[in-house]
Amino acid sequence: MELLDQFHGLLSPDGTVVVLADRGLYAKWLFEAICKLGWHPLLRINSDGKFRPAGWHPFVPLSRLVPSVGRCWRGRGTAFATPAA
């Protein structure tokens, strides 16, 4: 049994669960497992990653969306550049 499954049985289905993890735990399988449980992932990622905002065709460096410390950006899109993406 995965660790997430153990917690799933202990939490109220009426609540909102936000899973916070440092970038050392960031992985596509973890993101998908959290979403499958209906929870909300809040995972730190490496600054050299890429992201494709909804409606955009290419993936872009995260530094293009958030160019410096103290800046922020929020939006929907695809966080994993895979051959199928």
- Tens of pLDDT, residues 28-71: 788 888 889 889 988 777 778 889 999 998 999 989 999 898 99
User: What are the residue ranges spanned by the domains of the chain?
Assistant: 1-45, 47-85
Please state, as a whole number, how many other Cβ atoms lie within 10 Å of the Cβ of residue 11. 12
For the cut 70, the answer to whether the pLDDT of residue 16 exceeds it is yes
Between CA 1 and CA 77 the distance in angstroms is 31
pLDDT at 1: 44
Between CA 35 and CA 5 the distance in angstroms is 12
Between CA 74 and CA 54 the distance in angstroms is 11
